[in-house]
Chain A
Amino acid sequence: MKKGVKAHGILVALRLLPYAVFVVVLVTFASLSSRFLQVQNFLNILVQAAPVAIAGIGMTFVLLTGGIDLSVGAVMYLSACILGVFFKSVAWPVGLLLMMACGSVWGALNAVFITRLRVVPFIVTLATLFIARGAALYLSNTKMIFLPKEVTGLNRLYWFGIPFAIWTLAVVLAVAWVILRETPFGRQIYAVGADPVAAEKAGLKVGRILFLVYCISGACAGMGGFVSITQVGAVSPSFALEREFAVIAAAVLGGTSLFGGRGGVGGTIFGAILIQTVNNGLVIINANPYIYPLVTAAIIFLAVLVDSLRERILKRLQARQIRVEEGGDARLASAPARLP
């Protein structure tokens, strides 16, 4: 089984590649600027990565079922507009819950199209991306929306020396981790992602599970949007524009597969940090701003490439196992996927 061992080696290498990239990024920026390595800078990176990481946790749920949610950036913008236009004077915890509620309603809308009308998630969420952005532009008259001090001041709120954004991220991460690991719903998400038809046959309520993951993704996007507002202070028409790509890339860089059934929320945090580190480093070394999208694109490309390579190798390992018995008698051990 030498070939199998080699394939497993490649799999491990692919799994570790994003971490190797992270090390290379750290070393490169550290050698180009002394400011990069300061503790304060790393704290900044973590705080700035929080919105993408939070939305990425929701995205991880969706990706694990084999779906995708392209509407998260637009949901961030729309829920922020609703808060800024209609509920300017509410207390911030109410505002946070309100944005999460907006997000999960939007997620439920996605889910209805996906589970009831059986439209593919990519198409549904691409359409709702434009609907949400359009609705938000209409609500805001394409003007900048300013939010009260109570919300924007949260950026300077520290508990036990830890900033608000990190607290939020930590709570979401802990809850998501427990849901995925320790509840039936979490394990069933993995089963649906591995094989939706078999999951249905095994008696799982696949429609309900899909419905919930899109609601979770929407709620997390709303929460990510709230944290983002506290950092930028105002909601411009380009708020969270194209943010869905960073969110998906964060999850995929963290080892969650676009093909479903594989990955987890821990990696997503790493992915978000990697993306933010690159952005931060480029700012610190005063790189040409027109280079940023190229670098981000390269990272997304790497993530997707690694993911599809892993999937191909795993499929090959699973599909056809040629087993050599003691004594050298080889038998074809592929289970034929049909009945005689």
Chain B
Amino acid sequence: MALLEAKGLTKSFYGVTVLHGVDLAIEPGEVLGLVGENGSGKSTSMNILGGVLQPDGGSMTLGGVPYAPRDPRDASRAGISFIHQELNLFPNLTVEENLYLDGFPFRFPFLPFIDRRRIRQRTKALLAEVDLPASPATPVSSLSPGERQMVEIAKALSGQARLIIFDEPTTSLTSREIERLFALISKLRARRIGMIYISHILHDVLRLCDHVLVLRDGALVGSDRAANMTPERMVTLMVGRTMEQMFPPRFEKPSATPPVLELRSVSQPGVVKNISLVVHRSEVVGVAGLLGSGRTELARIIFGLAPRQTGTILVEGRELARSPREVMQAGVAFLTEDRRLEGTLGSASIAHNLALPAVESYAGTGTGVLDSARLHAAVSGMARSVQLKASDIERQPINALSGGNQQKVVLGKWLMRSPKVLILDEPTRGIDVGAKYEIYRIINDLAAQGAAILVISSEIEELIGLSDRILVMCHGEFSAEFNKATFDPEEILRAAMKKPVHSSP
């Protein structure tokens, strides 16, 4: 009998369906691999299993009995542990305290004193099971990310886990820690614990898993024994999507004039290594790469938000200063990946948000008093030209807009400054298909007006649809370059997933 079985799971957010009836089954002692691009529904389906989200439709059974967790505690009581990318430990407590935080055993009956000896012994046994040679009294803050993950697994074991879900468990581990994790997974498999392993690193998935599921656009598109899978087949299943009707056409050709943005061997230890690139007038250059590849850090370095140790950055041949203010004055605009936190003033009006970066240029000469009429005209003009759907841009706060319209405001506010260089980090994250099209159109218009554009995205089709050239980042370095003639989603994904060259210890 299957340990866990899910049938027809569906889920939608704000009218956008992200899961279209996903089925899965896992046996005791089986390791199930789950792969798919960002937004394919991996996280949503696992969050349903782990009790973080409730499905709109479908059913689950655990060991033959119906299973419908209302929250993560419900799930963990039923024996399902979810080990998230960001770990849920308290760094200011010790290992043993973290393991027993919600249920300390008492030393004396009826007196609430912690039985230190008992939790120490039990913790010692659990740490031995996960092969972590740390004392139970070690504060978690002094452990490495890999060691903390072992503690999380020990915590799952202390709660009698029957199924453990790993979400991208290797992103913050060193190669040695990864080996230890894999050894532990084999050990748990021998104890008949079921596991679901989510990862972008396909080699790891093939090596660890018995069975692999491939998700795309919220539906299961492939399910086979790992022995019958190859990385090539997995990538084909993950990517295969029609590209027609997704991207507006582009007519402008990048000019061969001197580059507008140029980076010469920019390095920052542990973040990016020896990055050189040029972007010309009217050119759109895409940067592909996985989470943690250094792609976002690169954008922050160019904009002066993060330090760089060596290398030069030039805009129209002039060296760029290192403060965001001066970088902005040089004509560079930056759309950050976190729109809510870094890109908008949430409760301020749409007009206010639009005017923000350009407001200085609407001050009267000499007096410094704002020319409201001219600013108002410019702001409403911009709202029209980005096709903003809002009822009243003067009164409506930006928070009240949908994600796509918020992003149009953020784009519009930078367009008010007519930037020479525009850097976009994940410009369409969390935006529905229709709004995506409009954002792509704005980006194309900008390029047509002569801006040099750098787009960072984890959606490869998006980069292919938008860019003239694509650079692939992997472990802080460029690992490949493609131009329009050589665009190939599978090749790009492969270049982004290149295994790091581990030197033998």
Give A contacts to B, CB under 8 Å.
178, 182-185, 187-188, 190-191, 193-195, 198-199, 201-204, 261-262, 318, 321-337, 339-340
Contacts and interface: CB of A to CB of B under 8 A. Distances in A.
Contact of B87 (A199, A262, A335, A340): A335
B174 A325 contact: yes
A339 B500 contact: no
A183 B92 contact: no
A323 B505 contact: no
A322 B501 contact: no
B458 interface: yes
A239 to B, nearest CB: 36
24 contacts: A182-B116, A187-B93, A187-B114, A191-B101, A193-B92, A202-B101, A204-B101, A204-B102, A318-B91, A321-B144, A322-B269, A322-B271, A323-B145, A323-B174, A323-B270, A325-B505, A329-B501, A331-B500, A332-B297, A333-B174, A335-B145, A340-B38, A340-B42, A340-B291
Contacts of A187: 93, 97, 101, 104, 114
Contact of A335 (B171, B270, B293): B171
Interface in B97-140: 97, 101-102, 104, 112-114, 116
Contact of B292 (A191, A325, A334, A339): A334
B502 A329 contact: yes
Contacts of B503: 325-329
Interface of B: 38-39, 42-43, 72-73, 85-88, 90-93, 97, 101-102, 104, 112-114, 116, 141, 144-145, 167-168, 171-176, 200, 269-271, 291-294, 297, 458, 475-476, 500-505
Contacts of A327: 502-505
A183 to B, nearest CB: 5
Given A187-B97, A336-B292, A262 B92 contact: yes
Contact of A332 (B85, B114, B270): B270
Nearest to A183: B112
B85 A335 contact: yes
Nearest to A261: B92
Contacts of A335: 85-87, 145, 171-172
Given A191-B90, A204-B102, 12 more contacts: A182-B113, A183-B112, A187-B97, A187-B104, A193-B92, A203-B102, A321-B172, A323-B174, A327-B503, A335-B171, A336-B291, A340-B168
A194 B112 contact: no
A136 B149 CA distance: 54
A184 B174 contact: no
- Nearest 6 CB-CB pairings of A with B: A327-B503, A322-B270, A340-B38, A203-B102, A339-B43, A184-B104
Given A325-B174, A331-B475, A339-B43, A188 B297 contact: no
A173 B102 CA distance: 26
Given A187-B104, A334-B292, A340-B42, A198 B88 contact: yes
